[in-house]
């Protein structure tokens, strides 16, 4: 029985602000009577609400990076049937950080692209912590093309701290590879659904995250760069990451307000890492709604382009004011 062992690992890996919750959970598991159990469960519920309502942006970053958070394959193996993984960019290599393939969702054939960070140490190393190189982005592009040719909806699952920063990645054109994916995604005629699962980092995330409907898990983050890096660039001090995290507006609710994502997908009580199956089932419902939209012809490439064209905020002075300001 692997289950009890896993739970102990959970206690070890609990984040500082989760400690009280873990204690209550432990008491709940030891409770003798139904009465005791329901009392502790109520207490847990109350405490959980208290903790989660007062999370700071930095604590949310920690939650998004929780080591036990479900990874791409934890979701796709649960919500897809008969997934066939496809490999290789047809030029140079197969990038294990990027998983691509074809599968079925409730009878509907779909193309799938996503980053897999890995769960065990071996898998994490093998998959480079979900940091894909140009080969990964070109493999993804291949699948975008395939989805387009066969008229299949495209589902992407984003879980990456960044595109891989490395010598070979630069040699093989990391920048242009990501650029080409953005170029392709904005104008695919086939509908595109993107889910930000835990950490959406920079161009590495965006390279597979331009679509008709961007769903983001409640405790995921989506950033222009990691808060540590932002603090380092602006203040030459990575330790100011907490300040950076709150200034950068990294949470799902922030991004919804900014119009960058289309929906916030709820997570099971305590976060997706507490209940992988529950998290997958909630995301599955979101995919179901998206595919229903496909059948209704709701997603149109023109609308997707318009959505992106409007993103950002600027001040537009009338020509006269601008002329005076320059004079």
Rounded Cα gap, residues 29 and 25, in angstroms: 6
Per rule CB under 8 A, is residue 172 in the interface with other proteins? yes
User: Residue 76: in which H helix or E strand, if any?
Assistant: helix 72-79
Instruction: Give min distance, CB of 263 to other proteins, in A.
Output: 16
Helix or strand or coil: residue 294?
A: helix
Binding status of residue 194 toward other proteins by CB under 8 A? no
List phi, psi (to 5°) of 52: -70, -25
When the beta carbons of 37 and 256 are compared against other proteins, the nearer one is: 256
Residues 64-83 that bind other proteins (CB under 8 A): none
* Nearest residue (CB) to other proteins, 82 versus 318: 318
| Stretch 297-326: interaction string toward other proteins, x if CB under 8 A | --------x--xx-xxxxxxxxx-xx--xx
Query: Can residue 225 be called a binding residue for other proteins (CB under 8 A)?
Result: yes
Minimum CB distance to other proteins smaller for 44 or for 260: 260
What is the C-alpha separation between 64 and 267, in angstroms, rounded? 12
- Pairing outcome for strands 98-105 and 108-115: antiparallel
92 binds other proteins (CB under 8 A): no
Task: Identify which of residues 76 and 190 has a Cβ nearer to other proteins in the complex.
Answer: 190
Q: Angle formed by the axes of helices 19-30 and 3-12, to 10°?
A: 150
Residues in contact with other proteins, counted by CB under 8 A, come to a total of: 61
**In this complex, which beta carbon is closest to other proteins, that of residue 99 or of residue 248?**
248
For the bound state, the minimum distance from the C-beta of residue 97 to other proteins, rounded and expressed in Å, comes to 15
CA gap 213, 92 in Å, rounded: 32
Alpha-carbon distance of 225 to 241, in angstroms, equals 11
Cβ-based nearer residue to other proteins, 142 or 240: 240
Q: CA-CA distance, 12 to 158, in Å (whole number)?
A: 27
Tokens of residue 318, six digits: 């009338």
Do residues 13 and 67 make contact, with C-beta atoms less than 8 angstroms apart?
Answer: yes
**Can you tell me whether residue 210 is helix, strand or coil?**
coil
Of the candidates 193, 222, 290, 299, which one interacts with other proteins according to CB under 8 A? 222
By C-beta, is 122 or 318 nearer to other proteins?
318
Verify binding: residue 230, other proteins, rule CB under 8 A: yes
CA distance readout (Å), 302 to 159, 186, 212, 305: 27, 9, 10, 5
**Site residues, other proteins (CB under 8 A):** 162-167, 169-176, 178-180, 182-183, 185-187, 202-203, 206-207, 210, 222-225, 229-230, 233-235, 240, 243, 247-250, 255, 258, 260, 305, 308-309, 311-319, 321-322, 325-326
């Amino acid at each position: 029985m692997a289950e009890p062992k896993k739970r102990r690992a959970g206690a070890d890996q609990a984040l500082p602000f989760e400690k009280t919750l873990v204690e209550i959970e432990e008491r709940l598991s030891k409770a003798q009577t139904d009465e005791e159990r329901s009392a502790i469960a109520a207490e847990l519920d109350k405490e959980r609400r208290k903790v989660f309502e007062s999370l700071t942006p930095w604590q949310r970053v920690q939650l998004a990076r929780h080591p036990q958070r479900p990874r791409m394959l934890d979701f796709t193996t649960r919500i897809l049937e008969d997934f066939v993984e496809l490999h290789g960019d047809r030029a140079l290599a197969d990038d294990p950080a990027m998983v691509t393939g074809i599968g079925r969702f409730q009878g509907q054939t779909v193309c799938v692209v996503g980053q897999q960070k890995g769960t065990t140490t071996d898998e994490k190393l093998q998959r480079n912590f979900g940091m894909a190189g140009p080969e990964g982005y070109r493999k993804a592009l291949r699948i975008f093309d395939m989805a387009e040719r066969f008229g299949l909806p495209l589902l992407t699952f984003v879980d990456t701290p960044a595109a891989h920063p490395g010598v070979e990645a630069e040699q093989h054109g990391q920048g242009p590879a990501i650029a080409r994916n953005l170029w392709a995604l904005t104008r695919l005629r086939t509908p595109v659904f993107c889910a930000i699962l835990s950490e959406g980092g920079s161009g590495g995330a965006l390279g597979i995250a331009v679509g008709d409907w961007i769903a983001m898990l409640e405790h995921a983050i989506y950033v222009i760069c990691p808060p540590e890096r932002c603090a380092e660039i602006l203040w030459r001090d990575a330790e100011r990451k907490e300040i950076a995290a709150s200034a950068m507006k990294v949470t799902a609710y922030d991004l919804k307000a900014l119009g960058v994502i289309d929906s916030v997908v709820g997570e099971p009580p305590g976060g997706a890492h507490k209940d992988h199956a529950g998290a997958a089932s909630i995301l599955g419902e979101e995919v179901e709604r998206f595919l229903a939209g496909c059948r209704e012809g709701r997603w149109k490439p023109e609308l997707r382009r318009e959505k992106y064209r409007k993103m950002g905020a600027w001040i537009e002075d009338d020509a006269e004011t601008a002329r005076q300001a320059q004079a």
